[in-house]
Structure 1
Amino acid sequence: MSISAKEVNELRKMTGAGMMDCKKALVETDGDFDAAIQVLRKKGQKVSAARADRETTEGVVFVKTNADQTTGVAVAFTCETDFVAKNADFVALGEEIATAAFENKPADIEALKALKAGDLTFAEKIVDMTGKIGEKLDVIAYEVMEGEVIVPYVHMGGKLGVLVSLKNTNGTDVVEAGKDVAMQIAAMNPVALDKDGVDASVVEKEIEIGKEQARQEGKPEAMLEKIAMGKLNKFYKENTLLSQAFVKDNKQSISQYLDGVSKGLTVAEFKRINIG
């Protein structure tokens, strides 16, 4: 049967699929729009399955907070190429996913993907867009945070996002200080908030590395433990947020900087999401 340009354009508006894909689907289904939509969805599913083992090293981290900055979310929506990461439809879907995450606070990524967006779930919308764009798309990270003041930050052209929760704010405007700390986290990638937050396996590994380095330097066995503990304390200073030297003023630590902004001000927690 003959399919008109008007019908093709109508299906394109409904699905966002390409003109030729829409025309082929309508021809295949004798002009049945519902059946044509299913044909297009199956095409997306086939493309998605074929690219399942591809790496998604590009994309955008979306961060959102409420008006009083007591709640924040971060979502990493990924693709295969930088070209697609800049695609308006890709960015729009990422924004939609992040907004749904903020409004619903799902338990995890799978629950986020299961949220409804109109007639489809986000998992289904991602599959559909995979069919249209021809690349693997995925949500690889999702974080939600609540606290006295949550400060968001996005870096590296949208590929790195940070959420910082500040406490003991005492009614002080601490947003600029929070941004400074978020930039510190983005740049220095601390492993934990303080030494108490460092995983025991990391501590054990650092002690062993310290001992082996001292041994290679010819230090006596009786001294190895003490030397290793000294190296461990240096590791804490360089790799835990509150002990790190503040990048804007390395004469003080992050802890000292925050205390100078407002007495007792500190970080309750932080999240750092990086794509690629």
Structure 2
Amino acid sequence: MEVYNCTESADTLAAKFEKYLRYFRLKSKNSRGHESPVWRTQYPSTGREGHPPVAVVFNPGARTGPQAMKNRMNTVMELTRLVWSGSYHGAGGGYGAEERDGYYDYAIPLLFTTLDRLQTSGPCEAVWWRCGHGQWETLPDALANPADHDAWYARDEQRRRQRDEERERQHQEGAAERERWAQEPDPDPEPEPVPPCERCRGPITGPLGYDLESAPTEDGRHCPSCRTDLHQQYPTLRQAVFGRRSRSK
């Protein structure tokens, strides 16, 4: 925790957080040769991912007015943007997702408050302003980061569950559709096609509206029109002597 009494410039205060960042990135090896951050040997585990938070208590005293204090806080926040914003990792949408998603890491949670807020409301109230959140929050809310890896992983798990549920729904719908088709009776076989007229290759039943009563008897080979034409043709000598013979089917 830093207590800022407004006796030094905003640049001097901002430079301190760059030193914090360099320190938090230092690593050492244990007896097994595994690397771990040095700061973890100095501070107990909080169960949170990333660097430990740093809080700044602004104490304007009688020298700095409310607006000047606000301007000083905004200046420090802009000068330390790279410290508290971290590095963005575009992880896509994660599990089978198409939308863009990702997370920030290696950021220092930088919290601002003022001495008068702490004295008036106490540290358990919404007196903490985390850089990047844009509002006064309680300490647990200020320490929560919806843009870190844990939050991204939770979103990815939610997407995975939704996709699993969608696949299960589609599987059940497909099974129900197959069951419905299995229970339907087989369709009647289609009738064999009627052969066309051997002479004109048209329908053997003749065109619509044709007077079938005036046509010769069906022979199974010609349409009514062709049967009429064939019947009206002059007979050959053989047909004249021996008569017309109907051809077998």
Higher helix share: 1
User: One fold, TM greater than 0.5?
Assistant: no
If you compute each CA radius of gyration, which structure gives the higher value, 1 or 2?
2
Higher normalized contact order (CA 8 Å, seq sep 6+, divided by chain length): 1
TM-score, normalising length: structure 1: 0.20
Q: Greater share of strand residues, 1 or 2?
A: 1
Give the TM-score taking structure 2 as reference length: 0.22
